[in-house]
Structure 1
Amino acid sequence: MKKILLLSVMLLVGVMTYAQQALWGGAPVVSPEIHDDNTVTFRLKAPKAVKVQVTGDFLPTQKITTPFGEFDGPGVADLKEGKDGVWEYTTPEPLAPELYSYSFIVDDLKMMDPANVYMIRDVATVTNVFLIGGGRADLYKVNDVPHGTVSRIWYNSPTLKKERRLTVYTPAGYETSGKRYPVFYLLHGMGGDEEAWIALGRTSQILDNLIAQGKAEPMIVVMTNGNASQEAAPGESQDGFKAPSMNLPQTMEGSFETAFPDVVKFIDKTYRTKTNKRNRAIAGLSMGGYHSLHISKQYPDMFNYVGLFSAAIMPDKKVQSPIYDDFDQKLKTQFAKKPALYWIGIGKTDFLYQANTEYRKLLDERGYKYTYYESEGGHIWRNWRIYLTEFAPLLFK
């Protein structure tokens, strides 16, 4: 009887193991494997492949030319085929603490790592991600601290004549404290949407950690959709599963800036906010920095803190909108009201570096005070996460 029972158990274990292998496509391959010294090994089982490569931002960058300018793109490294058709690549040096993205290229076909379920979308590109902890990157991790709440909420924009979606972070304790909070409006770049900062920017993790450490004031963070033609992020609106695109109408021609008071009014009505200039901040990356610049000067009594992260500065010469008229006078009015912080951050190899240098020269010539932060690298999320960790602790002091 015992032998029969033992045989039955062994048979059951065998069936379960086979079922799991069938479900997951065979014996597991560990990838990426982060070693104790912070070198990382990538593996892919592809016995019929001729060539396998890995591409990602952990590799030396390469220049990529696009219609929007020249960008720092991810490098490429070759994997070597080993036993049982498992291809492998280990970084020659330890990786610095950071959130990294990568994907495989198999015989010229780009694909995700089937061993890694963690993926993020950036506009129309999906990549796998992994995190090397330590230093500033510990702010990007979910740590044992009180956590805020992230909500997707719809509002009506009378100016744009449509319902639109926001992503809103409320700090730990908001639901029960009864307190009122300052508000930080955080804007994405071209091709992004209200999901960009929460996914790629690690906003909730950064704010949770900074607030828990006492380095940032508890605040509400509002992440808008800066594409005035959209209701919401791709796949989250009546447009259905429409392909994400950077070529959208109504992005940098004044519509979003004109309609921005609709967002502020909704947030002040819906959340327990401190409804004055002293308790409002606005910042954004690239196109979002452009929006932040022009919104803050258009409504000089609305924001006391302004952040331009790798910002585009001036509109195309063909663009006509009252938002961009009287630029010099509006800027003069804004700085005459003495904003508590006007913060500019840019990477040394960013394609917008020269535009930011010229804008800073203009501010210098007119005696307008600002804080400047220069980092390594170009127009990349690695920099924008850094800027958020530098900017947020300066707010509402």
Structure 2
Amino acid sequence: MRKIITLSAMLLMCVLSFAQQALWGGAAVISPEIHENNTVSFRLKAPKAVRVQVTGDFLPTQKIKTPYGEFDGPGAADLTEKDGVWEFTTPQPLKPELYSYTFLVDGLKINDPSNVYMIRDVASVTNVFIIGGERADLYKVNKVPHGTVAKVWYNSPTLGMDRRLTVYTPAGYETSGKRYPVFYLLHGMGGDENAWSELGRTAQILDNLIAQGKAKPMIVVMTNGNASQEAAPGESSLGYAPASMQLPKTMEGSFETAFPDVVNFIDRTYRTLKNKQNRAIAGLSMGGFHSMHISKQYPDMFNYVGLFSAAIMPGKDVKSPIYDNLEAKLKTQFDKKPALYWIAIGKTDFLYQANTDYRKMLDEKGYKYEYFETGEGHIWKNWRIYLSEFAPKLFK
């Protein structure tokens, strides 16, 4: 009798195990697998596939032509198949970094079903993983005091709508009773108020820098720079609207004109230090464009300005008073001696020449700025570096 009960129990466990595997898609395939030497293996179970590749920013870049220009894009590597499971292991250890990747199965791009960690960038969703060490440790959640990230709605009278912000408050904000400086951090074209917190790892970078004593505790406000939008795709009254880079009211003056609405809301709502000396603004690409033009349009608003891979001038057909009288506005701004005007860009960025020309103009005028150059191009890897370099320079 005891043998029958034991056998029945074993059969039941097998059935439950089989049911669980059926529920979750069969036996587990480990992917990505980070080895002790920091090589990484990628695996995909696809027994009927003819060709499987992995594409990601850990591979050598290749030039990709788009309607918006030529960009550095991720390369691709072939996987080899054994018993229906395809596999690729990086030939060299990967350097510390946050990496993204997807699979190409017979030309169809899919996410890794073995990796639940994914990030959206405009209309693309990729899997992610981190190789720790060096600067990449700033991108990890470490055992340090943590700030709070909130999605906050505000009313913009200038744009005539309610809009959303992402706001980081440093560890201890809720109980300290102190007032804090504010850093306004702006995304690029096609991005939104989620971009810097998700792709840029802003909260992790600030938590770690502040804990290390390298950055001052500060509030970071991550705006939605698309003046026609209430909030990120799928998170507004439009419902699950498609994500797109082709949005109206992005670089034609509306966002810059309405930016005081953001500053006024933050100063009313949070315990801020309400003066130029305690405000900073920076952004990537389109956000760098906005940071440049907002800071010169309101020269008494920001003492720290950061241009990360910035677009510089509007399109030829764009007409707005925001962009008129550039040299006169820059003279006023630099005559007021901002504490920091910081320009950063990668050597292969498609905006490199525009930034070179802009720096030449600043040099000819004798305007002081700091310049930081990296390798590679118009990529999040660089923008996380720029944030981790820029933030420690603020509010000193």
* C-alpha displacement of 1:11: 2.4
User: Which AA in structure 1 matches 2:241?
Assistant: K
* C-alpha displacement of 1:4: 3.6
Q: What residue number does 1:258 align with?
A: 257
User: Which AA in structure 2 matches 1:380?
Assistant: I
* C-alpha displacement of 1:6: 2.0
Q: What residue number does 1:294 align with?
A: 293
Identity of aligned residues (%): 80
User: Which AA in structure 2 matches 1:45?
Assistant: K
* C-alpha displacement of 1:316: 1.0
User: Which AA in structure 2 matches 1:56?
Assistant: G
Q: What residue number does 2:282 align with?
A: 283
* C-alpha displacement of 1:320: 0.7
* C-alpha displacement of 1:12: 2.8
Q: When the two structures are superposed, what TM-score results if normalisation uses the length of structure 1?
A: 0.99
Q: What residue number does 2:56 align with?
A: 56
Q: What's the Cα RMSD here?
A: 0.7
**Which residues of 2 match residues 1-397 of structure 1 at below 5 A?**
1-82=1-82, 84-397=83-396
Unmatched segments (≥5 aa) in structure 1: none
C-alpha distance in 2 between matches for 1:2 and 1:266: 73
* C-alpha displacement of 1:347: 0.2
Which stretch shows the higher mean deviation, 11-20 or 92-101? 11-20
Q: When the two structures are superposed, what TM-score results if normalisation uses the length of structure 2?
A: 0.99
What SS class does the counterpart of residue 332 from structure 1 fall into?
Answer: helix
Unmatched segments (≥5 aa) in structure 2: none
* C-alpha displacement of 1:106: 0.4
C-alpha distance in 2 between matches for 1:188 and 1:41: 32
* C-alpha displacement of 1:20: 1.5
Which string of whole-angstrom CA distances, capped at 9 and with x for unpartnered residues, describes residues 330-369 of structure 1? 0000000000000000000000000000000000001100
User: Which AA in structure 2 matches 1:345?
Assistant: A
What SS class does the counterpart of residue 155 from structure 1 fall into?
Answer: strand
User: Which AA in structure 1 matches 2:124?
Assistant: T
Q: How many residues align?
A: 396
Which string of whole-angstrom CA distances, capped at 9 and with x for unpartnered residues, describes residues 66-124 of structure 1? 12111100000000001x20000000000000000000000111100000000000000
What SS class does the counterpart of residue 249 from structure 1 fall into?
Answer: coil
Which string of whole-angstrom CA distances, capped at 9 and with x for unpartnered residues, describes residues 248-270 of structure 1? 00000000000000000000000
C-alpha distance in 1 between matches for 2:357 and 2:300: 26
User: Which AA in structure 2 matches 1:386?
Assistant: I
What SS class does the counterpart of residue 283 from structure 1 fall into?
Answer: strand
User: Which AA in structure 1 matches 2:299?
Assistant: P
What SS class does the counterpart of residue 250 from structure 2 fall into?
Answer: coil
User: Which AA in structure 2 matches 1:24?
Assistant: W
Displaced runs of 4 or more, over 4 A: none
* C-alpha displacement of 1:280: 0.3
